[in-house]
Chain A
């Protein structure tokens, strides 16, 4: 079973920041938080990952709470192309298999 809990769907206005929450209250000390997204009928795309510090890259920012029991993925300026299902995953390292939960279906509204 997936170790994370996410809302099934969210709406965000185009141009605004999209904040996607994830609960991972049973995360272990050596597990990373990963985010992937899947645009319709495509393979998943890696977005970002982190251990305990906040992370930022060209796609998004990842905010992890101090107790590491939850995190938030932030898409700073959402566009219509960001419409996708976003998956929050916890895993130990890159060789660890990924177990996908149901994810959050993000709708970007024009």
Chain B
């Protein structure tokens, strides 16, 4: 199946700093990517839908100024956690659909574990 990568896989940062997480579709183009957050022992929570060339659509309760999403190309979406605080520590996962494909799957990245000290 298609491959989605995330970078970095783990990041530890100090409170108040900003962290950028990359999500790449390695062997396909993705017009739509999704960002999720998962706290320990909880399910994935959809944060936003990222559309190539347009503004992201955020789910209710997700601060768009804190979680900046950029989808500048068909193979890359980035999530920047601005002024991170310990409560932002979580597992961040992205997913992508194949542009123009008939496949109904949504492909997920391996996740990025963020720890804010």
A residues near B, CB below 8 A?
32, 34, 36, 38, 41-46, 49, 85, 87, 93-95, 97-103
Measured CB to CB, the closest approach of chain B to A93, in angstroms, equals: 7
Contact A42 B111 (CB under 8 A): yes
User: Is residue B103 within 8 Å, beta carbon to beta carbon, of the partner chain?
Assistant: yes
Q: Which chain A residues lie closer than 8 Å to B105 at the CB level?
A: 46, 49, 94
Contact A98 B111 (CB under 8 A): no
**A98 and B103 in contact, given A45-B108, A103-B43 (Cβ under 8 angstroms):** no
Measured CB to CB, the closest approach of chain A to B55, in angstroms, equals: 16
Interface size band for B? 20 to 34
User: Is residue B73 within 8 Å, beta carbon to beta carbon, of the partner chain?
Assistant: no
Instruction: Choose from B34, B104, B110, B111 the contact partner of A93 (Cβ within 8 Å).
Output: B104
Contact B97 A95 (CB under 8 A): yes
Contact B46 A97 (CB under 8 A): yes
User: Is residue B84 within 8 Å, beta carbon to beta carbon, of the partner chain?
Assistant: no
Contact B106 A94 (CB under 8 A): yes
| Residue ID in chain A nearest B113 by CB atoms | A41
In angstroms, Cα B108 to Cα A98, docked, is 11
In angstroms, Cα B36 to Cα A102, docked, is 14
Contact A97 B1 (CB under 8 A): no
User: Is residue B91 within 8 Å, beta carbon to beta carbon, of the partner chain?
Assistant: yes
Instruction: Choose from A41, A43, A101 the contact partner of B108 (Cβ within 8 Å).
Output: A43
Contact B43 A100 (CB under 8 A): yes
| Residue ID in chain A nearest B59 by CB atoms | A97
Q: Which chain A residues lie closer than 8 Å to B110 at the CB level?
A: 42-43
